[in-house]
């Protein structure tokens, strides 16, 4: 078992890239502009402009992760990188404003599949800078900080110089605890950028309806102590107290035994896990290692033999795509609560 490479909590890096695509004349011009020392666009002036005239409700100014951009009109040729960014776009009905997408951790949600199938997939992982430009985007929405990897040429400054607006999911730069308030803000900001704030408000209401239902069902229940196992064999890669995963555990009436780890993800020893004696283990499901393989490893780890969760074989499972800041969070909370407190959902 090997640890995944992470950037800012959950972003992956170091993947192989697809062969370069043939560039259109517009993309070539943008590439040349970026490579010839084009001057930095002031952040307040960044973002796409409408083809002509003014657009109702615009201009709008949005700040994220240290970048402030003013949009004169909604992006028309957007690209989403990472699953949770893609699903937020699709949840807001923005597929017709998308010219490309890339990087899924698992299957797209069934309710968005038809819309997703109409969007061009630029790469299985991250597209190269040239492949990204070949889609002629006016906006790129990244889910993880690794989406804007400067070493791969996809830095936000480089894209800005090429006239492309950018937005990074706020979990990729938030230092303090991430809560559902950040989920709301993420959806609200994307709605604002694309001029669909009404859709964003409806989506937020629907998400809170799910959370409210869970809260009623588990009211008064005793919290279950939980250890999150993401990956690792020499050490355990786990969820700390700074990411949305920790908030999801709390909302599902659990207590993260490593909530004192002051970041979204981090490594701990299996001896530390044993000392904190969790009652349940939440496995993050993704990648080449199956849930059953992860269970077998944990059950066979001698350092964990006296841990209550191991003795009682008490496991819960969440797909990784549900544990990052996106529209899956409420359903992920419900799934976790059902697994930790099944009697409340009978």
- Domains of the chain: which residue ranges? 25-173, 220-340
- Banded pLDDT at 176 (limits 50, 70, 90): confident
Per mean pLDDT, which range of 41-50, 197-206, 235-244, 300-309 is the poorest?
A: 41-50
State both tokens at 70: 């003013």
Q: What is the pLDDT of residue 175?
A: 76
Sign of the torsion formed by the C-alpha atoms of 97, 146, 178 and 44: negative
Answer yes or no: are the C-beta atoms of 58 and 195 closer than 8 Å.
yes
C-alpha–C-alpha distance, residues 109 and 213, integer Å: 21
Per mean pLDDT, which range of 174-178, 226-230, 277-281, 283-287 is the poorest?
A: 174-178
49, HSE (Cβ side, Cα atoms, 13 Å)? 8
Q: What is the pLDDT of residue 45?
A: 37
For domain 25-173, is the CATH number 3.40.50.1980?
A: yes
Decide if pLDDT at 150 tops 50: yes
| DSSP bridge pairs for 281 | 227, 315
State both tokens at 334: 């419900």
Pairing outcome for strands 236-239 and 315-319 = unpaired
**pLDDT tens column, 87-107:** 999 999 999 999 999 999 889
Pick the CATH number of 220-340 from 3.40.1410.10, 3.40.50.1980, 3.30.110.30, 3.40.50.970: 3.40.50.1980
Decide if pLDDT at 12 tops 90: no
Peptide bond into 59 cis (omega under 30): yes
- Give the predicted TM-score (pTM) of the model: 0.84
Q: Work out the widest C-alpha separation in the chain, in whole angstroms.
A: 69
What Rg, from alpha-carbon coordinates, does the chain have? 21
How distant, in Å, are the alpha carbons of 4, 9, 100, 142, 188 from that of 12? 7, 9, 19, 12, 26
Topology agreement, domain 25-173 and domain 220-340: yes
Answer yes or no: are the C-beta atoms of 67 and 166 closer than 8 Å.
yes
- Banded pLDDT at 23 (limits 50, 70, 90): very low
Decide if pLDDT at 86 tops 50: yes
Answer yes or no: are the C-beta atoms of 172 and 145 closer than 8 Å.
yes
């Amino acid at each position: 078992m090997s640890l995944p490479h992470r950037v800012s909590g959950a972003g992956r890096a170091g993947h192989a890239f697809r062969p370069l695509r043939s560039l259109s004349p517009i993309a070539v011009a943008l590439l040349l502009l970026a490579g010839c020392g084009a001057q930095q666009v002031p952040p307040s002036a960044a973002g796409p402009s409408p083809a002509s005239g003014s657009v109702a409700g615009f201009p709008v100014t949005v700040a994220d992760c240290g970048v402030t951009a003013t949009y004169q009109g909604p992006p028309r040729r957007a690209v989403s990188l990472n699953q949770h960014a893609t699903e937020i776009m699709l949840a807001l009905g923005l597929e017709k404003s998308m010219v490309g997408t890339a990087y899924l951790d698992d299957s797209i949600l069934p309710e968005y599949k038809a819309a997703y199938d109409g969007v061009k997939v630029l790469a299985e992982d991250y597209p190269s800078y040239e492949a990204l430009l070949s889609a002629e985007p006016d906006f790129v929405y990244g889910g993880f900080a690794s989406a804007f990897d400067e070493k791969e040429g996809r830095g936000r400054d480089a894209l800005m110089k090429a006239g492309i607006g950018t937005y990074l999911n706020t979990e990729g730069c938030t230092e303090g605890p991430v809560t559902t308030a950040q989920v709301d803000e993420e959806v609200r900001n994307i709605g604002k950028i694309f001029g669909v704030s009404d859709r964003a408000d409806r989506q937020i209401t629907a998400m809170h309806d799910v959370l409210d239902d869970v809260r009623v069902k588990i009211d008064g229940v005793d919290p279950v102590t939980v250890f999150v196992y993401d990956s690792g064999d020499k050490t355990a890669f786990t969820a700390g107290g700074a990411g949305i995963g920790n908030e999801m555990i709390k909302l599902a009436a659990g207590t993260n035994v490593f909530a004192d780890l002051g970041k979204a993800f981090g490594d701990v020893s299996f001896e530390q896990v044993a000392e904190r004696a969790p009652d349940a283990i939440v496995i993050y499901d993704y990648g080449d290692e199956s849930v059953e393989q992860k269970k077998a490893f944990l059950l066979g780890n001698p350092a964990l033999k006296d841990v209550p969760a191991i003795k009682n074989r008490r496991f819960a499972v969440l797909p990784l795509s549900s544990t990052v800041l996106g529209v899956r969070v409420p359903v992920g909370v419900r799934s976790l609560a059902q697994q930790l407190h099944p009697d409340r959902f009978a």
